[in-house]
Structure 1
């Protein structure tokens, strides 16, 4: 997803010299996106996000190979859309897609960096085998506070997207301790952060 989380994450990964990036998003750039999706400008409004994003990343670092996949990721196509990836960053804004990404990553043994936003708060977690994202969110919450429903402060998207990129870089390089099996929760309004462990669910339909 090249949204609020994915756009800044992609910029930092390209700037860091990550050799190959695959952008997966079916959407077009909208004017309302620009306050948080900083890979785009007004000139990109109406263009496919993956194409505008690929052009921006190539302009930032011509040595990075950028592949654009302009389609919606689903449970049916997730496996081949993610084929060959070493790390996946999920910055999508709906739980059906998050579940499909998680299941494909577990099946393929790909570490998953998950970033999510809501109003003034955000979270980043890393999932590798067990526990998986589905252990954290067993079912789709009935009143989920998605970006589209409640809005989000643009700068918060930059914070969470940067954190997601940092976790991906740590996984790629083996530096430090990634947030594997943990969730970092950031409260932008209070200026606080806390980290909590995610317990593996023995009854998880994906990794249990």
Structure 2
């Protein structure tokens, strides 16, 4: 983080940030680093809202917000940057106004545009740290690839129903998002918040964690989430951790990368993909036990706690590299805890041309609820 501008604190700063200054790990030097830092938020929705509020309150000197959406009344259940009077306004502009009201001593830059390969270099090059809080896989991979290529730290988070995950990438210090998930599913195949729903407070938890990671990176304290996927389940009130390593064959940060420039991912028509994937309820899967190939895409630690008879464990992060292990002569059913990871695996397999692909709707949580109350479903990231 040595590229940040050198600044000094004013008397007003000393009063506003006195609780930070009392922390030995931050103090005046750390607060000066925060004041000189420039952080970019990709997305000003559920995750971006708490991230932006806490970064502004903490005294990050320059905050940029990229979002080309407008505030909808349905956003107000979780996107705490906005209020009822914001409905219909540009999110980037409304966010700028709200954050300046919280802290008028910082600089806010609104970017009411869609992030694309054509503008990502120009956008990212102006900032020290990037926070990705989008719900589109195309943008998530574009942000990751651009940060790797430009050498920018990235804090990424995602949410689904009652579950969230977060990770951090720092150039030269750990694996990137593609090391964990080499290939994205088609946009639209994995349900977004509007389709699957989301607990209103969930993005508050994960977005605050993103802000925490950014502050740690800027100040240079603590241990960031490098090579660790932090998971959170609100229903169980459990945090978990899945460790992963840099892949030497990673397309963007590997030893011989094939991605040298940020590029817009080709978006497949979700209807075409969905038409090829069979959705099974637990009772239908029970009839297929012993006949179909059951592939459990959870982490090995989750699989070890309990799994269906005959199931084979191939973690979702390894599906792309292990497609050769997926049978092509019979029905294949991907399963996971809640259905999100199995949909991702189904998308990857379908895009690769495999046929007879199905997934278990509602995952093993649905299996336990509908068929076997004694079946223990491990929390995400169990260890």
TM-score range, shorter chain: over 0.9
* In structure 2, C-alpha distance between the alignment counterparts of 1:149 and 1:114, rounded to whole Å: 22
* Structure 2 counterpart of 1:180, from 214, 226, 242: 226
CA contact (8 A) 1:128 1:181 kept: no
Which residues in structure 2 correspond to 1:123-138 (within 5 Å)? 123-129=165-171, 130-138=174-182
- Compare CA radii of gyration and give the structure with the larger one: 2
Q: Deviations over 1:122-181 (max 9, x none)?
A: 011001234111111111235424323311111011000111100111101111111122
Deviation at 1:76, TM superposition (A): 2.3
The answer on 1:81 being equivalent to 2:123 is yes
Residue pair 2:60, 2:106 contacting (<8 A) in 1 also: yes
Supply the distance in 2 between the matched residues of 1:29 and 1:88 (Cα, whole angstroms): 22
Contact 2:141 2:184 (8 Å CA) reproduced: no
**1:170-206 superposed Cα distances (whole Å, 9 cap, x missing partner):** 1011111111221110011100011122221222111
Equivalent in 42, 64, 69 of residue 106 of structure 2: 64
Counterpart Cα distance in 1 of 2:197 and 2:245: 29
- Give the whole-Å Cα distance in 1 for the aligned partners of 2:239 and 2:191: 19
Deviations 1:83-119 (A, max 9, x none): 1211100000011001111111111111100011000
Q: Which residue of 2 aligns with 1:94?
A: 136
Aligned to 1:201: 247
Instruction: Structure 1: state its 5+ residue gaps.
Output: none
Q: Map of 1:34-183 to 2, 5 A cutoff?
A: 34-129=76-171, 130-141=174-185, 143-183=189-229
Contact map agreement 2:132 2:140 (CA 8 A) in 1: yes
Identify which range, 131-140 or 24-33, moves more after superposition. Answer: 131-140
Shifted more, 157-166 versus 128-137: the winner is 128-137
- For residue 69 of structure 2, the aligned residue among 16, 22, 27 is 27
Structure 2 Cα separation of the partners of residues 128 and 148 of structure 1: 32
Q: How many residues get paired? A: 208
Scaled by the length of structure 2, the TM-score of the pair is: 0.53
CA RMSD of aligned residues (A): 1.1
TM-score when normalising by structure 1:
0.96
* Alpha-carbon contact 2:147-2:154 (below 8 Å) kept: yes
The Cα shift of 1:75 comes to: 2.1
1:154 is paired with a residue whose SS is: coil
Alignment counterpart, residue 14 of structure 1, candidates 56, 67, 72: 56
Unpaired segments ≥5 residues, structure 2:
1-42, 255-383
User: What's the secondary structure of 2:229's corresponding residue?
Assistant: strand
Q: What do the CA deviations read for 1:61-83 (whole angstroms, capped 9, x no partner)?
A: 00110000010101222111111
User: Would the aligned equivalents of 1:48 and 1:70 in 2 still touch at CA under 8 Å?
Assistant: yes
Stretches of 4+ moved more than 3 A in 1?
Answer: none
Q: How far apart in 1 are the matches of 2:81 and 2:142?
A: 25
Larger RCO, structure (CA 8 Å, separation 6 or more): 1
Does the CA-based 8 Å contact 1:103-1:206 persist in structure 2? yes
